[in-house]
């Protein structure tokens, strides 16, 4: 699967330009085996030979021609690298019955998905490694594959891991109240089956890392395109047997993550193992073609949902059944059963009913592993709930907005726990819906829709209420056995010149999180924003933390920054009081100056305070303790997660002759708690909306029935372009989180969750005159025309 030298050279840029100069000096390339003049080992480049088959037995591997190819330093198989690494096991200990076989770095006896790495070729350049990879000869015995979630339990289909006996990875059921009675007594029952196809994160830059093992002191430095350097520091230490204090992970700007760069990849551990074996720095970057097969996938579910409704329009019960194809193994640490679990625990969350039954089954198939991706399983819950709510409203003869308003939990009912187990407390469904209705001028939009239908123009309005889990606390990952930190920390110090330097455990993939951290510190200490410098992404110097995932930057990292800022402020004022022989109560910090609280006049500058604190302690009382460097960490110890919420609206036009969909407008009213930087929050919502639109209308990993990916290029895999997107209007309701002082919740996934629901509902609303529905994503022109051509009431199962 080698690519051209030109593509190789461009892919080498993927790590970014923010690598420390000391690391670049060590890893810089030159001629021959060593860097010119300084005799440091020259960095090597790794390329993989991957399985071309979704399921095949490996008969033999011949590497002799590749070993003799120009520039090749090593050709490594599973026999070389697998013994160096503890196998990866993706089992959540707190989920009884969850099972997964161990996963090795490289396939040896069998390959179980198309794209699984089998051989690693290491050479002086990427182009030479790719050329030599084409000279590796593997004899394959192709085997039958299982590819669809509804086929995985069929006893006539192959079992991905025969030692397990079948393809069931996990089975979980929720049963609250008496759903049988509720459905039997319901005036109306609406039901649909929903097909969510596989898709990719499609980050701007692909995955990549440079692993540099130093045989002299046994240390490992990894420059890694990853969202959590601390997670990977622990992984490299635990699985490769290196003392943790000798492992350093640097995560510079990485060009987007979206959860995909949070997952644990065996092939990335193999790069570090190759560096250990060869004693030289080794670099690997996935090119765009590899990313289609090797990046963790998302979705691939079939869900069936039912909703019972009274004659008055009250939801009385829901049932949900989910089948999810999680790939060939359990995802280590970031368990791929999470999509199904979120689907069934979040369904119906905004609405007031008590009878609920749900079941999720995670199934092994001969495809790449499903991993974390923006929203995880929450979009499933939003789509299923909101499509059924719209259908129920029509069955009752009620306006969809009024149906939702009627069925929201009463404002005075919080805190409460939903049938799926979500604790609702600081949510604002009514407020968000009321604001949205005014924002879109809902009544006029409905009038326009009806008038245009008389002219043969079919437009749809979709309203979607959503709940977003954010900022998971220790109760979420702790019982699972996963070594994942849910805390984050902040080191903060006053420099001798009077400015502040912060090192945070939060990382930033483009969200602007570090800007928000700097704002919190500036405000909490009392200095100008320009006087705060923020560093991140180095596991060896920052406080231990989780990094970037689950919309936690401000909610957790911001809370830690607030605590550090307040500590440093108090210490500065104590020192200033000692220097000026003034009571602390008479001093404050404003604009980088210590001022008198009564007069507002400057008393002493922070630079002068720091000068004494660092260089003239001899002028202070002998027992005075100068502390101008502080550290503060925060974890939401008692919280499973925080819950943000919102409502989105979508307005679309469906061309019933061609099947094309035109997006006319998208609106979002979001409640993410206290907003630190409105511009950053708005753009997070807009970015998520763009991905949500892509999921519903464009994106799909198309597999043949035999398990071969059919559209593994950007020519064939569609993503939304700028011209495909409508104007996106974002407004907010602020309901601060009461469990923290900052009050922030999180917003990173809200845009995608709500957009998928709103667009899905709006397209079906446009099709109401045809008495048909579409529930197979993405909504391609072919699927739209197929839905229109079906007889009234028929359902698209997507299978």
Interior CA angle at 218 toward 217 and 223, to 5°? Answer: 105
| Cα atoms in the 13 Å half-sphere on the side-chain side of 190 | 21
Query: Element (H or E) spanning 73, and its range?
Result: strand 72-77
Angle made by CA atoms 151, 155, 157, in degrees to the nearest 5: 55
- Give tens-digit pLDDT for 88-131: 999 999 999 999 999 999 999 999 999 999 999 999 999 999 99
Encoded tokens for 764: 């079906």
Q: Please state which of the four CATH numbers 3.60.110.10, 3.40.47.10, 3.40.50.360, 3.30.365.10 is assigned to the domain occupying 2-32+487-634.
A: 3.30.365.10
pLDDT at 799: 31
* C-alpha to C-alpha distance for 230 and 213, rounded to whole angstroms: 18
What is the percent of the chain where pLDDT is above 90? Answer: 92
pLDDT per residue over 747-769, tens digit each? 999 999 999 999 999 999 999 99
Q: Is 325 exposed, middle or buried (0-12, 13-18, 19+ CB in 10 A)?
A: buried
Please give the share of the chain, as a percent, with pLDDT higher than 70: 94
What is the C-alpha to C-alpha distance for residues 544 and 635, in angstroms, rounded to an integer?
Answer: 11
pLDDT band (50, 70, 90) for residue 236:
very high
Residues 635, 485: Cα–Cα separation, whole Å: 9
pLDDT digits (tens, 9 = 90+) for 450-501: 999 999 999 999 999 999 999 999 999 999 999 999 999 999 999 999 999 9
Structure tokens of 541?
Answer: 């110097």
Please, are residues 614 and 496 in contact by the beta-carbon 8 Å criterion?
yes
Fold classification of 297-474+638-789 (topology level): Aldehyde Oxidoreductase; domain 4 (3.30.365)
Closest CA to 494 of 437, 420, 570, 547: 570
User: 728-732 and 661-671 as β-strands: parallel, antiparallel, unpaired?
Assistant: parallel
Residue 260 backbone class (left: φ over 0; alpha: ψ -120 to 50; beta: rest) = alpha
* CB of 671 closer than 8 Å to CB of 428: yes
Mean pLDDT of 375-382: 98
pLDDT in the model for residue 253: 86
Residues 6+ apart with CB under 8 A from 126: 5, 8, 9, 11, 12, 45, 47, 283, 285
Token readout for 405 is 């308003």
Helix (H) or strand (E) holding 269: helix 266-278
pLDDT tens for 653-704 read 999 999 999 999 999 999 999 999 999 999 999 999 999 999 999 999 999 9
| Helix (H) or strand (E) run with residue 761 in it | helix 750-766
Residues 6+ apart with CB under 8 A from 183: 189, 306, 308, 317, 319
Give whole-number Cα distances, 80 to 45, 65, 580, in Å.
17, 18, 68
452 Cβ contact partners less than 8 Å away, ≥ 6 residues apart = 458, 459
The set of residues, in sequence order, having a beta carbon less than 8 Å from that of 767 and lying 6+ positions away, is 458, 460, 654, 773, 774, 784, 787, 788
Q: Kindly give the interhelix angle for 750-766 and 678-697, rounded to the nearest 10 degrees.
A: 40
Q: What is the pLDDT of residue 254?
A: 84
pLDDT tier at 595 (50, 70, 90 boundaries)? very high
pLDDT the model gives residue 30: 43
Q: 657 by DSSP, 3-state: which?
A: coil
Angle (CA) 59 369 134, round 5°: 45
pLDDT reading at 22 higher than 80? no
The closest of 305, 291, 274 to 388, measured between CA atoms, is 305
Q: What is the pLDDT of residues 28-42, one digit of tens each?
A: 444 455 555 555 679
Cβ-contact 356, 733 below 8 angstroms: no
Question: DSSP E strands: which ranges in 660-722?
Answer: 661-671
Name 172's bridge partners.
360
Cα R_g (the chain), whole angstroms: 28
Domain parsing of the chain, residue ranges = 2-32+487-634, 35-143+206-254+260-294, 297-474+638-789
**In this predicted structure, what is the pLDDT of residue 637?**
86
In the predicted model, is pLDDT for residue 55 greater than 60?
A: yes
pLDDT of amino acid 420: 98
Q: Per-residue confidence at 17, pLDDT binned at 50, 70, 90?
A: very low
Sign of dihedral through CA atoms 372, 377, 379, 380? positive
CA angle 701, 107, 271 (to 5 degrees): 85
Residue 592 has pLDDT above 50, yes or no: yes
Q: How many CB atoms lie within 10 A of CB 101?
A: 19
Phi, psi of 407 (to 5 degrees): -100, -5
- Given this chain, do its domains 35-143+206-254+260-294 and 297-474+638-789 carry the same CATH topology? no
H/E stretch holding 268 reads helix 266-278
320 strand-pairing partners? 305, 358
Q: Residue 126 corresponds to which tokens in the numbers above?
A: 């990427």
The three-state secondary structure class of 754 is: helix
Look up the CATH superfamily of 35-143+206-254+260-294: Aldehyde oxidase/xanthine dehydrogenase, a/b hammerhead (3.90.1170.50)
Of the candidates 422, 316, 332, which has an alpha carbon nearest to the alpha carbon of residue 369? Answer: 332
Token code pair at residue 472: 């998971």
Average pLDDT over residues 396-421: 97
Cα angle vertex 137, ends 134, 141, to 5°? 125
DSSP structural state of residue 417: E
Q: Which residue has the tokens 């007594």?
A: 185
Sheet strand arrangement including 247-250: 72-77, 117-123, 44-50, 282-285, 208-214, 219-224, 247-250
Greatest C-alpha distance within the chain: 90
Report d(CA 558, CA 564) in Å as an integer. 10
pLDDT of 36 reads 52
| Length of the chain counted residue by residue | 799
Which pLDDT score, from 0 to 100, does residue 32 have?
Answer: 53
* Contact present, 766 and 459 (Cβ < 8 Å): yes
Assess contact for 378 and 468: CB atoms under 8 A.
yes
Tell me the per-residue pLDDT of 285-314, one tens digit each, with 9 for 90 and over.
999 999 999 999 999 999 999 999 999 999
Q: Sorting pLDDT into bands at 50, 70 and 90, what band is 795? A: very low
Query: What confidence tens digit (pLDDT) does each residue in 239-277 have?
Result: 999 999 999 999 998 889 999 999 999 999 999 999 999
């Amino acid at each position: 699967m080698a690519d051209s030298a030109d593509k190789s050279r461009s892919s080498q840029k993927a790590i970014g330009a923010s690598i420390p100069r000391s690391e670049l000096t060590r890893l810089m390339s030159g001629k021959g085996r060593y860097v010119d003049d300084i005799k440091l080992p020259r960095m090597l480049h790794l390329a993989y030979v991957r399985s071309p088959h979704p399921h095949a037995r490996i008969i033999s591997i011949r590497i002799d021609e590749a070993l003799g190819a120009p520039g090749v330093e090593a050709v490594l198989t599973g026999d070389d690298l697998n013994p160096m690494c503890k196998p990866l096991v993706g089992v959540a200990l707190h989920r009884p019955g969850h099972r997964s076989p161990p996963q090795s770095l490289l396939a040896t006896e069998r390959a179980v998905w198309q794209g699984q790495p089998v051989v690693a070729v290491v050479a002086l350049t990427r182009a030479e490694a790719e050329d030599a990879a084409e000279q590796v000869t593997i004899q394959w015995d192709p085997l039958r594959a299982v590819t669809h979630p509804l086929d995985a339990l069929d006893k006539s289909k192959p079992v991905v891991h025969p030692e397990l006996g079948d393809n069931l990875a996990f089975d979980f059921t929720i049963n609250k109240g008496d759903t049988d009675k509720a459905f039997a007594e319901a005036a109306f029952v609406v039901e649909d089956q929903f097909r969510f196809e596989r898709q990719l994160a499609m980050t701007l830059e692909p995955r990549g890392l440079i692993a540099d093992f130093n045989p002299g002191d046994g240390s490992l430095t990894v420059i890694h395109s990853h969202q959590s350097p601390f997670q990977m520091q622990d992984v490299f230490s635990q699985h490769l047997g290196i003392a943790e204090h000798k492992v350093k992970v640097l995560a510079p700007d990485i060009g987007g993550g979206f959860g995909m760069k949070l997952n644990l990849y065996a092939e990335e551990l193999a790069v570090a193992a190759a560096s250990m074996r060869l004693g030289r720095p080794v670099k690997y970057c996935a090119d765009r073609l590899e990313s289609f097969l090797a990046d963790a996938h998302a979705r691939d579910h079939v869900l069936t949902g039912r909703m019972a409704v009274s004659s008055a329009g009250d939801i009385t019960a829901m049932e949900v059944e989910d089948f999810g194809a999680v790939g060939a193994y359990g995802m280590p640490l970031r368990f791929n059963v999470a999509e199904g679990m979120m689907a069934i625990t979040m369904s119906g969350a905004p609405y007031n009913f008590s009878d609920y039954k749900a079941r999720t089954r995670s199934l092994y198939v001969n495809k790449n592993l499903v991993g974390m991706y923006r929203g995880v399983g929450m979009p499933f819950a939003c789509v299923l709930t909101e499509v059924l709510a719209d259908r129920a409203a029509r069955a009752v003869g009620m306006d969809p907005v009024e149906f939702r308003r009627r069925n929201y939990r009463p404002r005075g009912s919080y805190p409460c726990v939903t049938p799926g187990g979500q604790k609702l407390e600081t949510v604002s469904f009514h407020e968000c819906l009321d604001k949205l209705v005014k924002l879109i001028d809902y009544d006029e939009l409905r009038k326009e829709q009806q008038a245009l239908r008389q002219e043969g123009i079919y437009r749809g309005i979709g309203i979607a209420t959503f709940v977003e889990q954010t900022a998971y606390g220790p109760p979420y990952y702790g019982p699972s056995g996963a070594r994942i930190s849910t805390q984050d920390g902040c080191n903060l110090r006053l420099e001798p010149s009077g400015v502040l330097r912060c090192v945070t455990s939060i990382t930033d993939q483009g969200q602007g999180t570090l800007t928000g951290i700097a704002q919190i510190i500036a405000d909490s200490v009392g200095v100008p924003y320009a006087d705060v410098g923020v560093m991140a992404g180095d596991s060896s110097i920052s406080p231990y933390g989780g990094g970037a995932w689950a919309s936690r930057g401000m909610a957790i990292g911001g809370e830690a920054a607030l605590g550090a800022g307040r500590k440093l402020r108090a210490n500065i004022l104590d020192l200033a009081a000692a220097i000026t022989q003034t009571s602390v109560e008479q001093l404050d910090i404003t604009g980088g100056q210590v001022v008198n609280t009564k007069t507002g006049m400057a008393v002493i500058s922070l630079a002068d305070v720091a000068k004494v604190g660092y260089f003239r302690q001899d002028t202070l009382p002998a027992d005075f303790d100068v502390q101008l460097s502080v550290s503060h960490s925060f974890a939401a110890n008692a919280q499973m997660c925080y819950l943000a919420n919102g409502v989105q609206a979508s307005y679309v036009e469906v061309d019933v002759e061609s099947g094309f969909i035109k997006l006319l407008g998208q609106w979002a009213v979001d409640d993410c708690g206290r907003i630190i930087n409105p511009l950053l929050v708005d753009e997070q919502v807009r970015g998520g909306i763009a991905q949500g639109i892509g999921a519903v209308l464009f994106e799909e990993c198309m597999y043949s029935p035999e398990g071969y990916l059919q559209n593994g290029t950007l020519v064939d895999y569609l993503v939304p372009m700028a011209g495909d997107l409508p104007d996106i209007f974002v407004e907010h309701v602020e309901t601060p989180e009461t469990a923290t002082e900052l009050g922030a919740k999180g917003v990173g996934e809200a845009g995608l969750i709500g957009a998928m629901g709103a667009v899905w509902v709006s397209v079906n609303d446009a099709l109401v005159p045809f008495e048909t529905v579409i529930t197979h994503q993405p909504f391609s022109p072919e699927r739209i025309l197929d839905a229109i051509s079906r007889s009234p009431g028929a359902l698209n199962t997507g299978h």
